A = this chain, B = another copy of it.
Amino acid sequence: MVLTLSNREQFREAKSRLIALGIDHQVVGTDPIVFQINTEFSVYRPDDLAEKISDLGQVLAHAEKSPLLDKIQPGHEVVVEGNAFSPIRIKNFAKSIWVAGPCSLDEHNDIFETAAFLKKIGVQILRGGAIKPRTSPHEFQGVGREGYQVLQKAAHANGLACISEALSEDDVSDAVKYLDIIQVGARNMQNFSLLKKLGRSRKPILLKRAPGATLREWALAAEYLLSEGNDKVILCERGVRGLERELRYTLDLAGASFMQHRYGLPVMIDPSHATGLKQILESCTAGAIAMGFAGVMLETHPDPIHAKSDALQALSPQSLAKMAERLMR
């Protein structure tokens, strides 16, 4: 963005205002005074920013990269609805929604029992992997699409909504049929064919951030969903790749907070996958709630020794219950 002052006398005012707005800028011309403004380092939408400084002179802005996302209002609410449960309103800076369940469905977790337990402790959405994206082909690949139906039954029988991942375009029709929220996994964040197909559904979509994606790339993946007409988009931070050696990923809470402030979409946090370490889960969950995130997503397994994936990071139901008691208000 380029701002050319109408009037030299406004230099001080312009400078003060840019600093007060926290906008990175350089003076590139002196007669007239011209500011080059780095709009990307800002929580303001380009239009809003232009408006805030338009009285100072001429504002030139470049074409917006995410025009649909830039129309989303702060406080945008994604409502999850169904016959089996009360509507769940997912938005930032409100009471955080709890999502919990096993990483994968398997014969060792009685998902009905888990659902009943989670309902009792205040969880509103049941998660459970049916088709699992696994780093190695030799690892357990999930029970398959039929798991969607099992998950739905367990959730709905207990007044919960359900969420699971669609891994392939072929999964979409079943996912739309059985799930209340469809998850796009981190590894598929830029699987644009899948995004387009999901954008044409009208189901709420939870879009996880790829571990190597910048915030801008994550936003533009959401723009794909919006561009097909689906604005029921929930973002989910689950850790990026960086300096972590002792943890699985680097949980980017500040980056996720930028997304809350810059774009209006609700943002959830998944500390289980991000850290891989159950001992710091409560701290991270408490942080996420205090930061106003729309929800938290946690892994629990009734019998971790038999969990077919992510056993180390899964909380026992008892630990989850204690954590929920301390943190849920």
Partner-B contacts on A (CB < 8 A): 1-2, 12, 15-16, 19-20, 22-24, 26-29, 34, 36, 40-43, 60-63, 65-67, 133-138, 167-170, 187-194, 196, 210-217, 220, 223-224, 227, 239-247, 250-255, 257-258, 260-262, 271, 274-280, 283-284, 286-292, 304-305, 311-313, 316
Q: Which residue of B lies closest to A212 (CB)?
A: B212
Q: Which residue of B lies closest to A171 (CB)?
A: B193
Q: B242 touching A243 by the CB < 8 A rule?
A: yes
Q: How far is the CA of A262 from the CA of B257 in the complex (A)?
A: 26
Q: How far is the CA of A244 from the CA of B41 in the complex (A)?
A: 10
Q: A41 touching B277 by the CB < 8 A rule?
A: yes
Q: B190 touching A304 by the CB < 8 A rule?
A: no
Q: B67 touching A138 by the CB < 8 A rule?
A: yes
A26 and B243 in contact (CB under 8 A), knowing A250-B250, A254-B274? Answer: no
Q: B291 touching A277 by the CB < 8 A rule?
A: no
Q: How far is the CB of A319 from chain B (nearest CB, A)?
A: 10
Residues of chain B with a CB closer than 8 A to A257's CB: 280, 283-284, 287
Name 13 A/B residue pairs within 8 A (Cβ), A-sorted. Answer: A2-B28, A28-B62, A36-B62, A187-B210, A214-B243, A243-B252, A244-B255, A251-B253, A251-B254, A253-B253, A257-B280, A257-B284, A283-B291
Residues of chain B with a CB closer than 8 A to A260's CB: 283
Residues of chain B with a CB closer than 8 A to A12's CB: 305
Q: B62 touching A27 by the CB < 8 A rule?
A: yes
Q: A312 touching B22 by the CB < 8 A rule?
A: yes
Q: B210 touching A212 by the CB < 8 A rule?
A: yes
Q: B280 touching A284 by the CB < 8 A rule?
A: no
Q: How far is the CA of A148 from the CA of B6 in the complex (A)?
A: 44
A214 and B191 in contact (CB under 8 A), knowing A22-B278, A284-B253? Answer: no
A276 and B241 in contact (CB under 8 A), knowing A19-B311, A137-B227? Answer: no
Q: How far is the CA of A2 from the CA of B28 in the complex (A)?
A: 7
Q: B136 touching A65 by the CB < 8 A rule?
A: yes
Residues of chain B with a CB closer than 8 A to A284's CB: 253-254, 257, 291
Q: B66 touching A134 by the CB < 8 A rule?
A: no
Q: Which residue of B lies closest to A199 (CB)?
A: B137
A286 and B290 in contact (CB under 8 A), knowing A227-B137, A243-B240, A304-B19? Answer: yes
A245 and B275 in contact (CB under 8 A), knowing A2-B2, A187-B191, A220-B136? Answer: no
Residues of chain B with a CB closer than 8 A to A254's CB: 239, 247, 250-251, 253, 271, 274-275, 280, 284
Residue among A65, A190, A247, A251 having the largest count of chain B Cβ atoms under 10 Å:
A190
Q: B246 touching A15 by the CB < 8 A rule?
A: no
